[in-house]
């Protein structure tokens, strides 16, 4: 480029085909960067006499708009002819302007105080005037005019908002500065919908990151995060929001030879240190927030709206199940309800899209788009792979959670059903758990025994359970039914029978083992290795020595 003076502003068109350069208040120069076209500069002066160009914005590959202090001039750029064609001219007094490329909306500040804003919408070579609206200035006489630094335009959750940073002194009745969000619809009047309470005063800057409004506070060197989708106070006209988390500092970045800490914010998520030549994109780290928001339901509402949320959400589910207690079960249920609701909405949208494609209605409607599967859509496969399968080796834990929950809510019929249809797999730990619930639910004892018997590898455990319940005869019948009565310890059974204090039970148990001895060794006597001398003496005391020779069937 030739040196034709100081460059005030320089911008490429979409696709970097044409470069626009402003050097004077009256004109903009253009250079083609298109193959087979010369790069000789051509120029366009603003049409309005005595007007000065405040800014210019590319609308498309070959459409540009000049904003002067006296109006708006909309041009088509003809690079092959090296000239511009005026499409539309709108006269209006302009203080300053801003443009949202995402929505193709131009916002102009008019009137003496600058607080009447006039938006324009561009589409397919046309410029449409939208309804103007007024920003409420602070009541303080020192407030002055509405400045460009007080306003940003941002798309939040798919809707265009004008964000106004309202400075006001902190008093007992006024907590300080606030950010007011005006919803700017394509058709219809602008509406004041949200207020973000900053609860402090000073210098601020705004960014919008992942649909979150981030307010930087200069003096405290901290930033506040607001989410307009979270539950908040509604006063009948607007929704009042407070910061989601305590104020936090941006992650520090060491800059070599840094002589200045000054930085400038650009939308939506850019921070620049111009003096040192650094540029950053602001991002939100989700994982640390998991430990900052104690209300897990609110945490899930927050995470479900974020772009890269899936693995963080799954980690929250895993952590909650790992530490689940009785009081946390309703919270877990709430979280799963939220996940299911998002999944359900996606499935319904997918189904409606498929039906529309089948019927051919989407061909006549450009609004019918295939639903995007965001990371917030978590299906059964995701949940099993990243959460439930982690507990495969700890499935007893999950079964314990299910059983205790059913018992606590007196859902005993459902518990029977789960066991009968093997929703809960048989295991020794699970059988022991059922035994521990006998005082709450007496049939749990028999359920435990049935489970142990089905395992066929838990005979010893069944015997121990029966003996612990003083069901000595039941234990004897069981060992005989499985063919292990020749190997069991006589002393263990005699100990259990004697501890019951039931002399007839002791007598019957003693006779059982006498008969076993007779059958196995041809003698009813116990061998020294069985250590039953104490029980033989006790039997003689109770029934006499002659009773030792009297056989009895069990």
CB 390 within 8 Å of CB 321: no
Which residue's structure tokens are 């059983």? 403
Cα 133 to the center of its chain, rounded Å? 36
Q: Which long-range contacts (CB under 8 A, 24 or more apart) does 50-55 make?
A: 52/25, 52/26, 53/22, 53/25, 53/26, 53/27, 53/28, 54/94, 54/96, 54/97, 55/9, 55/97, 55/99
Dihedral sign from CA coordinates of 423, 429, 432, 433: negative
Q: Which two tokens stand for residue 159?
A: 């809707």
- Within 8 A by CB and 6+ apart from 381, the residues are none
**Strand, helix or coil at 31?**
strand
pLDDT of 148 = 80
Where are the extended beta strands (E) located within 390-495? Answer: none
CA dist., res. 15 & res. 497, Å (int)? 93
**Residue 316 · residue 335 · CB < 8 Å:** yes
User: Rounded to an integer, what distance in angstroms lies between the CA atom of residue 320 and that of residue 1?
Assistant: 62
User: pLDDT truncated to tens, each residue of the chain (554 aa)?
Assistant: 888 889 999 999 988 999 999 999 999 999 999 888 888 889 999 998 889 999 999 999 999 999 999 999 999 999 989 999 999 999 999 999 999 999 999 999 998 888 899 999 999 889 999 999 998 887 664 556 778 888 999 999 999 999 999 888 777 777 788 999 999 998 889 999 999 999 888 889 999 999 999 999 988 989 999 999 999 999 889 999 999 999 999 988 777 765 556 788 888 899 998 888 889 999 999 999 999 988 889 999 999 999 999 999 999 988 887 776 555 778 888 999 999 999 999 999 999 888 888 877 545 455 578 888 899 999 988 988 888 877 666 667 777 778 888 888 888 888 888 888 888 777 777 777 777 777 778 887 788 778 877 877 767 777 877 788 788 887 888 788 777 778 788 888 888 888 888 889 889 888 888 888 888 888 888 888 888 888 888 888 888 877 775 555 44
**Helix, strand or coil for residue 405?**
helix
Tokens 């058709």 sit on residue: 187
For position 186, what pLDDT does the model report? 86
pLDDT on residue 267: 87
Instruction: Round to whole Å and give the CA distance between 205 and 216.
Output: 5
pTM for the predicted model, two decimal places: 0.71
- Map residue 221 onto helix, strand or coil: coil
Q: Find residue 181's DSSP bridge partners.
A: 163, 194
Separation of first and last alpha carbons in the chain: 112
- Virtual CA dihedral for 339, 341, 344, 348, nearest 10 degrees? -140
The first and second tokens of residue 34, run together, are: 């298109």
Confidence (pLDDT) at 395: 60
């050097």: which residue's tokens? 23
The rounded distance, in Å, linking the Cα atoms of 310 and 92 is 49
> Phi and psi dihedrals of 133, rounded to 5?
-150, 165
Q: How far apart are CA 32 and CA 61, in angstroms?
A: 12
pLDDT at 141: 47
Q: How confident is the model at residue 94, as a pLDDT?
A: 92
- CB atoms under 10 Å from CB of 375, counted, come to 16
Q: Round to whole Å and give the CA distance between 169 and 141.
A: 12
Cβ–Cβ < 8 Å for 5, 22: no
Give me the DSSP letters along 76-108.
EEETTTTEEEEEEEEE---SEEEEETTTTEEEE
Pairing of strands 239-241, 191-197: parallel
Let me know: does 475 contact 466? Beta carbons within 8 Å: yes
The label of the residue with tokens 């029934």 reads 543
Task: Residue 442: count other Cβ atoms within 10 Å of its Cβ.
Answer: 9
> Across-strand partners of 98?
107
Output the CA angle 534-540-541, nearest 5 degrees. Answer: 90
Give me the residues paired with residue 151 across strands: 164
Q: Classify residue 174 by its DSSP letter.
A: B
Distance from C-alpha of 75 to C-alpha of 215, rounded to nearest angstrom? 36
Across-strand partners of 162?
A: 153, 182
How many residues in the chain?
Answer: 554
Q: For residue 300, how far is the Cα from the chain centroid?
A: 4
Q: HSE, CB side, 13 Å, CA atoms: give it for residue 349.
A: 14
- CA diameter of the chain: 136
pLDDT of 554 reads 46
């Amino acid at each position: 480029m030739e040196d034709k003076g100081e460059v005030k502003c320089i911008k490429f068109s979409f696709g970097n085909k044409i470069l626009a350069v402003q050097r004077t208040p009256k004109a903009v120069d253009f250079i083609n960067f298109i193959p087979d076209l010369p790069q000789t500069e051509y120029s366009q002066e603003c049409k309005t006499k005595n007007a000065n160009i405040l800014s210019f914005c590319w609308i498309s590959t070959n459409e540009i708009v000049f904003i002067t202090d006296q109006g708006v001039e909309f041009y088509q750029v003809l690079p092959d002819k090296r000239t511009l064609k005026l499409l539309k001219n709108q006269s209006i007094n302009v203080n300053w302007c801003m443009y949202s490329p995402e929505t193709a909306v131009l916002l102009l500040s008019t009137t003496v105080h600058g607080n009447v804003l006039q938006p324009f919408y561009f589409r397919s070579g046309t410029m449409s005037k939208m309804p103007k609206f007024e920003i409420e200035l602070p009541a303080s006489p020192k407030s002055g005019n509405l400045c460009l630094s007080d306003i940003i335009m941002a798309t939040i959750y798919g809707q265009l908002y004008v964000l106004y940073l309202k400075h006001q002194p902190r008093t007992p009745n006024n907590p300080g500065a606030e950010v007011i969000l005006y919803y700017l619809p394509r058709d219809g009047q602008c509406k004041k919908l949200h207020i973000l309470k900053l609860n402090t005063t000073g210098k601020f800057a705004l960014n919008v990151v992942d649909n979150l409004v981030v307010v930087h506070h200069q003096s405290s060197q901290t930033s506040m995060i607001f989410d307009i989708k979270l539950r908040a106070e509604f006063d009948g006209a607007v929704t009042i929001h407070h910061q989601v988390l305590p104020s936090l500092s941006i992650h520090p970045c060491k800059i070599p030879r840094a002589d200045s800490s000054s930085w400038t914010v650009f939308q939506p998520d850019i921070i620049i240190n111009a003096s040192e030549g650094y540029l950053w994109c602001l991002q939100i780290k989700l994982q640390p927030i998991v430990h900052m928001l104690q209300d897990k339901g609110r945490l899930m509402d927050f995470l479900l709206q974020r772009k890269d949320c899936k693995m963080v959400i799954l980690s929250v589910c895993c952590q909650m199940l790992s530490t689940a207690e009785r009081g946390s079960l309703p919270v877990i249920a709430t979280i799963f309800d939220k996940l299911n609701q998002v999944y359900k909405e996606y499935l319904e949208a997918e189904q409606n899209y498929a039906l529309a494609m089948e019927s051919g209605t989407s061909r006549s409607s450009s609004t019918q788009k295939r639903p995007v599967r965001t990371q917030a859509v978590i299906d059964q496969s995701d949940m099993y792979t990243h959460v439930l399968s982690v507990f495969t080796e700890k499935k007893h834990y999950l079964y314990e959670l299910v059983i205790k929950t059913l018992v606590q809510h007196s859902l005993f019929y459902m518990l029977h059903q789960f066991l009968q249809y093997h929703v809960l797999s048989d295991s020794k730990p699970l059988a022991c758990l059922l035994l521990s619930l006998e005082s709450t639910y007496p049939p749990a004892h028999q359920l435990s025994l049935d489970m142990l018997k089905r395992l066929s590898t838990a005979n010893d455990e069944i015997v121990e359970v029966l003996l612990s319940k003083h069901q000595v005869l039941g234990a004897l019948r069981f060992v005989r039914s499985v063919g292990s009565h020749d190997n069991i310890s006589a002393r263990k059974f005699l100990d259990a029978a004697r501890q019951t204090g039931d002399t007839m039970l002791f007598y019957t148990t003693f006779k059982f083992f006498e008969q076993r001895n007779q059958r196995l060794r041809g003698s009813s006597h116990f061998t020294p290795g069985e250590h039953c001398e104490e029980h033989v003496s006790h039997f003689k005391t109770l029934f006499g020595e002659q009773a030792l020779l009297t056989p009895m069937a069990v």
